[in-house]
Structure 1
Amino acid sequence: MDIIKDGEEITPIGDVAAALGLTTRTIRYWEEVGIIESVPRSDGATRGFTPYYVRRIKFIIKLKELGLTIKEMQDLYAAYGEAKQTERMVPRLVEILDEHIAKIDEKMARLASLRSDIVSYRQHMVNKFGASQTSGA
């Protein structure tokens, strides 16, 4: 997809990586797996990114922070597609986020149970062996 406007500044990959706290390898990998794009380049030219592409990279960073997998991001990218079908992407994103919320809820329940077991076992050790109760439970 060609998203270059006349006179629009193209930022080199190294500058984008530094500004966003990424490595150039990460950006190249994301491009290889098809979740971002760079501007078309001539042979041997450095990858470059318009402000549009930089916004897309920032979006990918947010999705990654939310715990989405590369596959899920590829699915979203496909849903968005060339036609910019936001009405397809947003429901899919909501569905993916709902799945992640459910997974987090499950993990939190398991961690709460584990914490309870550890507190109980600790108290058992204190009662049985008279160990110090100075650390907080």
Structure 2
Amino acid sequence: MATTVGEYRIGELASRVGMTERTIRYYEELGLLESVKRLEGGVRVYTDDDVRRLKYIKKLKTLGLSLQEMLELENLYRRHRSNRSVLPRLMELLDAHLATLDGRMDELRGLRDEIRSYREHVAQRVKEDA
């Protein structure tokens, strides 16, 4: 039951992409990873395409996309078999995440200013009590 060049068992794939085996199986169950080839005995075998796909999923996750959003993109790709429909939608999702992030950064800047101000107030009280 040896694999050929460019084929990986789940443990090898997990090491290669920096994910757990369970995560890979979960992505497969969700439909983010197309059904994979199996050897005798049901052993999953993954390809270089699966490596690229999982690295892409990891990148999208890092950028803040949810699994639901990734599934939406995957379904668009499967329906049209082209990135022409996927890329504009990905840009929309990324723009929405940027807007959310910008809002959160504004909130954090405000909180930072509030903490600094309150710290100065506390420092003044410490000075007065000394």
Shared fold, TM over 0.5: yes
Question: How many residue pairs align between the two structures?
Answer: 125
Corresponding residue for residue 95 of structure 1: 92
Matches of 1:82 and 1:39 in 2, distance apart? 19
Q: Report the AA paired with residue 21 of structure 1.
A: G
Between Structure 1 and Structure 2, the one with more helix by share is 2
Question: How much is the aligned-residue C-alpha RMSD, in angstroms?
Answer: 1.8
Matches of 1:40 and 1:20 in 2, distance apart? 18
Which runs of structure 1 show a deviation greater than 3 angstroms over 4 or more consecutive aligned residues? none
1:79 aligns with 2:73: no
Corresponding residue for residue 13 of structure 2: 16
Matches of 2:5 and 2:88 in 1, distance apart? 32
Instruction: Tell me if the contact between 2:33 and 2:50 (Cα under 8 Å) persists in the aligned partners.
Output: yes
Corresponding residue for residue 42 of structure 2: 45
Q: 1:41 to 1:58 in 2, by over 3 A?
A: same
User: What's the CA shift for 1:122?
Assistant: 0.5
30, 55, 59: which one pairs with 1:62? 59
How does the TM-score come out when normalised to structure 2?
0.88
Structure 1: which 5+ residue stretches go unaligned? 1-6, 132-137
Structure 2: which 5+ residue stretches go unaligned? none
Q: 1:82 to 1:54 in 2, by over 3 A?
A: farther
Corresponding residue for residue 4 of structure 1: none
**Partner SS, residue 35 of structure 1:** coil
Aligned-residue sequence identity (percent) comes to 42
